[in-house]
Structures are given as structure tokens and as C-alpha cells.
């Protein structure tokens, strides 16, 4: 298990390899479709993603004792962000993208060029993911985007995942698809 602590510097991120298990500590920000579209249309983001982490997540967060409590924070399927992610990586300097299901070749190329990795979080384990959120440090664009699409500022400790796409151009998703395709051809004769 490799430990990653915010801010996530390029050297440490480039040292990661597809298949590495990681535990993330520090600030991560959520962002989904509305945030990506807003940024792509020229909107100015209210947080700085440089050397940071973007979590594709629409959490369930409730008000509690004058603050917020995260009830569920499972990953959202990342493929929806493919049209936006290469430009987002290039312009923001984000180092970690966290989600589920992987992303396309253009995003992988941007990760390689700019020093970013994709971390596969456990799908279907939203309560487990939420347990690593120690504090909701803030929320941006709640009124504009709604709770599921807002940019939540999470301080996490020991948030776990696996590097599934690395800054060297390797994608576990592509490897599984290729080997599955080969096996299917074998089975079909």
C-alpha cells in the first residue's frame, strides 16, 4: 500500500504504476458533469485543483450540528467525463482522478503528458468510501449545481483505491479488455 498525501507532487505521482494500491490522505474535491461542462464553457472554478485530486462522486451529504456529514460517497462512472478530462488535466494541473470504470485513450494520453493518474475506487461501497471522509471542509457551487453535482471539499484519511491508469500510458482497463477479447476469440474458435 502506497500512501499519498496532499498536495500530490508530480514526482510522486509519476512514480506510481498501474496496479499499485494507494491510501490517500488530505484534501480531495468532488466534481461531475456540471462542473466539467461549466469549466469547458469558460467558467472559473472556485477551487484550485493544482497538485490536487478530483473525485468523480455525487455524495449523499446531510447537514448536521452546523456542518455536514457524509453518508455515502461512492465513485461515479467516469466515462461521462471523457470529452472534458484531457483539457481539464492540462489546464488545472490536477494529479489524481478518482472514479470507477476508467477513461479513454485521450485522457490516458493527457495523464501521461501532464503527470496524472486514475485511481479506481471501490464501486458499490459508498458507505465504506464515506468512512474515510474525516471532515467536510466546504462546498462550492451548491446552489448552482445542486447537492449531487456541487464541488465538495473533503478531508480524507486512508481513502483507498488502485492506480488503474498511470502516467506512463498503462491502463488496466485496456489490458483487461484486450485479454478478454483474445479469450473470447479462443472460445469462439
Tens of pLDDT along 59-117? 999 999 999 999 999 999 999 999 999 999 999 999 999 999 999 999 999 999 999 99
What's the mean pLDDT when you consider all of the chain? 95
Nearest residue to 57 via CA among 38, 40, 71? 71
Q: Which active-site residues does the annotation give? A: 36
Q: Return the CATH number of 2-188, one of 2.60.120.280, 3.40.50.1820, 3.20.130.10, 3.40.718.10.
A: 3.20.130.10
DSSP 149: T
How many CB atoms neighbour CB 137 within 10 A? 14
Place of cell 485530486: 53
44-71 residue pLDDT tens: 999 999 999 999 999 999 999 999 999 9
Q: Does the pLDDT at position 150 exceed 90?
A: yes
Residue 91 phi, psi (nearest 5):
-85, -25
> DSSP labels for 5-63?
ESS--HHHHHT--TT-EEEEEEEEEE--HHHHHHHHTTPPPSS--TT-EEE-B--EEEE
Nearest residue to 115 via CA among 160, 168, 79? 168
Q: 0.85 cut: is pTM over it?
A: yes
Contact 153, 139 (CB under 8 A): yes
Amino acid at each position: 500500500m502506497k500512501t499519498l498525501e496532499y498536495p500530490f507532487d508530480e514526482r510522486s505521482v509519476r512514480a506510481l504504476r498501474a496496479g499499485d494500491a494507494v491510501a490517500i490522505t488530505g484534501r480531495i474535491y468532488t466534481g461531475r458533469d456540471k462542473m466539467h461542462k461549466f469549466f469547458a464553457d469558460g467558467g472559473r472554478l472556485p477551487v484550485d485543483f493544482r497538485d490536487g485530486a478530483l473525485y468523480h462522486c455525487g455524495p449523499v451529504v446531510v447537514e448536521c450540528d452546523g456542518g455536514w456529514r457524509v453518508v455515502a460517497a461512492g465513485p461515479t462512472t467516469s466515462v461521462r467525463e471523457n470529452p472534458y478530462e484531457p483539457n481539464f488535466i492540462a489546464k488545472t494541473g490536477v494529479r489524481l482522478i478518482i472514479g470507477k470504470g476508467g477513461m479513454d485513450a485521450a485522457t490516458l494520453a493527457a495523464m501521461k503528458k501532464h503527470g496524472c493518474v486514475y485511481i479506481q475506487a471501490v464501486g458499490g461501497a459508498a458507505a465504506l468510501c464515506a468512512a474515510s471522509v474525516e471532515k467536510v471542509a466546504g462546498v462550492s457551487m451548491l446552489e448552482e449545481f445542486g447537492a449531487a453535482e456541487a464541488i465538495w471539499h473533503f478531508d480524507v484519511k486512508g481513502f483507498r483505491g488502485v492506480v488503474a491508469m498511470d502516467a506512463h500510458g498503462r491502463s488496466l482497463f485496456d489490458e483487461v479488455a484486450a485479454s478478454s477479447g483474445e479469450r473470447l476469440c479462443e472460445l469462439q474458435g
